[in-house]
Amino acid sequence: MLRLPTVVAVILTATTVTTTPAHAASPPGIDLRRAQTHQHIDGFGYSIAFQRTSLVHNLSEAKREEALDLLLGRDNGAAPSILRLGIGSSATTVYDKMLSIQPTDPGGPSAPPNYSWDGWDGGQVWYAKEARERGVHRFYADAWSAPGYMKDNGTDTSGGSLCGLQGVTCASGDWREAYARYLVQYATFYRQEGIRLDEIGFTNEPDYTASYASMRFTPAQAVEFVKVLGPIARRAGLGVACCDSFGWQHADPYARAIEADAQARRLVDVVTGHGYASPADRPLSTRKPTWMSEWAPSSVADGWNEAWDSGKGTDGIALAQRIHDTLALADSSAFLFWLGSSRGGTAALLQIDDANDQYRVSSRLYAFAAYSRFIRPGAVRIGAETTAEGLKVSAYRNANGTEVVQILNTGTTAVATTIDMRRPNVYLTDATHRLEKVPGIVTRHGQRSAIALPPRSLTTLVRA
């Protein structure tokens, strides 16, 4: 997404944990249901599209390394496990555009392609290599639009549709297969750079017309194109993701259409949706893994905000609650934030001022890192129940057996509770702590551990 004027409301008061009746003599507690398993976790990440990574590259060497450690670091940084790349469609390299690998019409859909590659891709190639060196191994590339000459409106911006789809007739002919091969060629160029793309997506917010790169697909048209792209992508060793719709519930018609078509269902690997028009608060109608592939709060009203809990939608605690709901209510297997870094009044994790060789860190980075640093790819969400008021709780078991419990105290007062977890490492994120180990929050209490949860905080428990 490249959307500045949209204001997104963040709901801070919903109750999202499963509750059980409390016995009168029992204090409120948190109980882990270790035998109860939910979705597997593919990972956490963010987008590096629209040349935002070039801002990081423009910093001095020392500042650049500091910023990369914060954005990519496994131990002290955001620790993403997935990066979302943007497949370009523009004929220009101006900032905020993504350059196409075939900016000019080769002479029609059946003409030999005239692909070109600069090995830079708006800074994404460089950044992907830096990420791989720091342990990121899953890369998802998504197209906002086809090049304009492949569409009925003649431009890669302002919506329009791919020529050749049902209901779309163009004088230039049917560009469906040419567009599919274009997408796969993009992945081929990355493979030549030593970066293997895992999934490709052919559309971004197909239910929304934007002034920037955008293209419309109905659910039926998306299914139609999946059946063109899927076999070509399979032969190239690529997975297919669909359809990055504008809102999570807006993804449901696409999910249902894919499920209803046996061929499309076989060819789609991941069903994706965004969190703008509707939040992720329930599962989608699919048996496929689902990803929240993009969300960020609007920074129009807030500007650059570093606060944890100032009452704004861009607060760190607001992001933590959105991640919790996406995992615990919507059963999503991944959460991808919009941007890791950007400039000006941004809601990205880092603000980059490359002109003055400076950067600033938001509390959103630590809210994100609390999940991404400890819940690793291959984890499974397990059951977690509580009778304690004001808490949002979710629990996970990593492939190596490590247990992670995330506890959000959404209330304005401290909460005393217990949990059936012994001797965990405790990390606190709040107005004065940035995902820091803090003693004294957890103490032994008979067969259980007692927890003293500060108000408006995220407490992360990790037990090997």
> Tell me, what's the pLDDT at 11?
32
pLDDT cut 90: percent of the chain above it: 91
Whether 101 and 128 map to the same domain: the answer is yes
Give dist(CA 347, CA 350) in Å, integer: 8
Whether 82 and 184 map to the same domain: the answer is yes
Domain final position from 310, 344, 379? 379
> Tell me, what's the pLDDT at 22?
40
Whether 367 and 392 map to the same domain: the answer is no
Tell me how many domains the chain contains: 2
Partners of 168 in the beta sheet?
Answer: none
What are the angstrom distances between the C-alpha of 323 and each of 113, 153, 220, 393?
Answer: 42, 37, 30, 12
Q: Determine if the peptide bond prior to 163 is cis (ω within 30°).
A: no
Q: Kindly state the tokens that stand for 280.
A: 């992720």
Whether 311 and 403 map to the same domain: the answer is no
**φ/ψ of residue 179, rounded to 5:** -70, -40
287-296 pLDDT, tens digit per residue, is 999 999 999 9
In a domain, 78, yes or no: yes
**Amino acid of residue 227:** K
pLDDT at residue 13 is higher than 90: no
In a domain, 21, yes or no: no
* DSSP characters over 144-211: S---GGGBTTSSSBS---BTTSTT---TT---HHHHHHHHHHHHHHHHHTT----EEES-S-TT---S
> Tell me, what's the pLDDT at 284?
98
> Tell me, what's the pLDDT at 345?
97
Whether 193 and 91 map to the same domain: the answer is yes
Beta carbons within 10 angstroms of residue 280's beta carbon: 28
Report the pLDDT averaged over residues 84-110.
Answer: 96
149-184 pLDDT, tens digit per residue, is 999 999 999 999 999 999 999 999 999 999 999 999
Q: Kindly state the tokens that stand for 49.
A: 């599209």
Whether 33 and 53 map to the same domain: the answer is no
pLDDT at residue 324 is higher than 60: yes
Half-sphere exposure (CA, 13 Å, Cβ side) for 371? 33
350-359 pLDDT, tens digit per residue, is 999 999 999 9
What is the C-alpha R_g of the chain? 22
> Tell me, what's the pLDDT at 444?
82
Report the pLDDT averaged over residues 238-266.
Answer: 98
In a domain, 19, yes or no: no
* DSSP characters over 336-392: EEEESEE-SS--SSEEEEGGGTEEEE-HHHHHHHHHHTTS-TT-EEEEEEE-STTEE
Report the pLDDT averaged over residues 382-386.
Answer: 96
Termini Cα distance of the chain: 38
In a domain, 339, yes or no: yes
pLDDT at residue 1 is higher than 90: no
What are the angstrom distances between the C-alpha of 184 and each of 145, 155, 234?
Answer: 14, 21, 10
Whether 350 and 401 map to the same domain: the answer is no
Domain final position from 379, 412, 436? 379
Whether 78 and 55 map to the same domain: the answer is yes
Whole-structure pTM value: 0.93
Task: Give exposure, 196-222, as e/b (b: 16+ Cβ within 10 Å).
Answer: ebbbbbbbbbbbbebebbbbbbbbebb
In a domain, 300, yes or no: yes
Report the pLDDT averaged over residues 85-111.
Answer: 96
pLDDT at residue 395 is higher than 90: yes
What are the angstrom distances between the C-alpha of 357 and each of 333, 339, 362?
Answer: 36, 19, 17
pLDDT at residue 251 is higher than 50: yes
Those residues whose C-beta lies under 8 Å from the C-beta of residue 455, and which sit 6 or more positions away, are 409, 411, 412, 413, 414, 415
Beta carbons within 10 angstroms of residue 192's beta carbon: 10
Whether 344 and 442 map to the same domain: the answer is no
Q: Is 378 left (phi over 0), alpha (psi -120 to 50) or beta?
A: left
Whether 288 and 194 map to the same domain: the answer is yes
Residue 300 sits in a domain whose CATH number is: 3.20.20.80
Domain final position from 357, 379, 401? 379
Residue 448 sits in a domain whose CATH number is: 2.60.40.1180
In a domain, 3, yes or no: no
> Tell me, what's the pLDDT at 26?
57
Whether 270 and 404 map to the same domain: the answer is no
> Tell me, what's the pLDDT at 397?
98
State the residue range of the domain holding 258.
42-379
In a domain, 16, yes or no: no
Partners of 157 in the beta sheet?
Answer: 213
Whether 257 and 395 map to the same domain: the answer is no
What are the angstrom distances between the C-alpha of 423 and each of 442, 449, 457?
Answer: 8, 8, 20
In a domain, 24, yes or no: no
